[in-house]
């Protein structure tokens, strides 16, 4: 099908012939990303999903207590679905009590609320809390791990597999820095009402006060999550997120040498991202970007736009150098459903496409009556016979 090509400046339609007249961008180049000693790491923008820095980000590794991000993700889903409540009471099993590693110091047959267990999981990194929640939701930790893997697949965590709810070592229990970044973004996006728990600096249970192991919560006021992890096999790990001036970044560092280095390396990534990049909302969902001619419909025009907000992460100071381009079907015919893809919009920065989205109809157009369809059909035939092929 014949396509029309147009250059769409942010808010201004330009003929394609003017593209060559646009001056080249100027400004300081973005410096190289920091090189960390950690085994694997990634820095990702939350809104755009743009990966700013990565090293071995898709390598499958032991993730220790970073696992508990998925444990809490499942619990939050059950809360939102009304299947459990924060004030539900859980009776602690001997199995949960015997679980080794970090603890919130539960005791057998103790009755504890779901909310207390979540805080013990998120703030104190309690393995006993993780098992107690897993047993409460799925009967056994093994069954709960199956639910964890279901949600991992839904989130596109293609290099992850969960065997338990705690992160205790198992050769078949693994994830990647990239997958953990996706999971972190999902928690922030899907459960904003629960996300604030990740910024809690301490929690007292059973008369024992424990501090959050995420040292960045004390170092940087912009940091508000997420989770630490450590075993001999995994090294020191940290998934963190921070928000400055409306821009949110997610950092995941895995296999760092010490508790101090995982915090310092995570801080280096976050500082680099905030210093040298910016995230801009180019278009809003439902905003009219163009108007399309519709044939054989009750309406001759249909507004066109995007069905979701479009954020782009770019080097600082380069916003004015963005050059969007629209590629649209030349003949739109009714019936046309709202949300139907009718073209594509691409955002260029220099020679790179930094974003590409479907251009969709923002309204439905019903078919015209017999005479209207016949008249437009004849006009299309005449255009095909005598019209310009450009």
| Catalytic residue set | 65, 68, 125
DSSP conformation letters of 344-375: EEEEEETTEEEEEEEEEESS-B-B--HHHHHH
Backbone angles phi, psi at 38, to 5 degrees: -65, 155
Q: Give, in degrees to the nearest 5, the angle at Cα 332 between 311 and 282.
A: 10
Distances, alpha carbon 118 to alpha carbons 144, 185, 187, 248, in Å: 15, 19, 14, 24
* Tokens (6 digits) for 161: 């597999």
* Tokens (6 digits) for 215: 């040292």
Contacts for 89 with CB less than 8 Å, ≥ 6 apart: 111, 112, 113
Map tokens 């104190």 to a residue: 124
**What's the rounded Cα separation, in Å, for the pair 305 and 156?**
26
């Amino acid at each position: 099908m014949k396509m029309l090509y147009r250059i769409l400046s942010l808010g201004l339609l330009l003929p394609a012939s003017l593209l060559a007249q646009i001056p080249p961008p100027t400004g300081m180049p973005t410096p190289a990303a920091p090189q960390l000693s950690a085994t694997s790491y990634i820095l990702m923008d939350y809104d755009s999903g743009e990966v700013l820095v990565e090293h071995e980000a898709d390598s499958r590794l032991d993730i220790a207590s970073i696992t508990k991000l998925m444990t809490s993700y499942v619990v939050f889903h059950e809360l939102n679905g009304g299947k459990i409540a924060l004030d539900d009471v859980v009776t602690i099993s001997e199995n949960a009590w015997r679980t080794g590693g970090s603890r919130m110091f539960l005791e057998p047959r103790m009755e504890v609320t779901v909310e207390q267990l979540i805080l013990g999981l998120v703030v104190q990194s309690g393995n006993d809390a993780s098992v107690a929640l897993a047993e409460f939701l799925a009967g056994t930790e093994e069954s709960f791990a199956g639910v964890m893997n279901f949600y991992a697949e839904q989130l596109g965590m293609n290099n992850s597999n969960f065997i338990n709810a705690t992160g205790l070592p198992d050769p078949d229990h693994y994830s990647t820095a990239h997958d953990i970044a996706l999971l972190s973004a999902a928690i922030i996006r899907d459960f904003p009402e629960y996300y604030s728990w990740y910024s809690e600096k301490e929690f007292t249970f059973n008369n024992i006060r424990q501090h959050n192991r995420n040292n960045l919560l004390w170092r940087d006021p912009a940091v508000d999550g997420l989770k630490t992890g450590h075993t001999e096999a995994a090294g020191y790990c940290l998934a963190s997120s921070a928000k400055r001036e409306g821009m949110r970044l997610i950092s995941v560092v895995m296999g760092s040498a010490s508790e101090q280095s995982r915090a310092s390396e995570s801080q280096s990534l976050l500082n680099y991202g905030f210093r040298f990049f910016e995230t801009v909302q180019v278009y809003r969902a439902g905003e009219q970007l163009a108007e399309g001619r519709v044939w054989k419909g009750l309406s001759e025009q249909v507004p066109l736009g995007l069905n979701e907000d479009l954020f782009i992460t770019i080097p600082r100071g380069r916003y004015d150098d963005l050059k969007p381009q629209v590629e649209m079907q030349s003949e739109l015919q009714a019936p046309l459903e709202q949300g139907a893809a009718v073209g594509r919009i691409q955002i260029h920065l220099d020679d790179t496409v930094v974003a590409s989205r479907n251009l969709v109809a923002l309204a439905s157009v019903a078919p015209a009556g017999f005479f209207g369809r016949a008249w437009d059909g004849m006009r299309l035939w005449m255009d095909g016979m005598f019209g310009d092929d450009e």
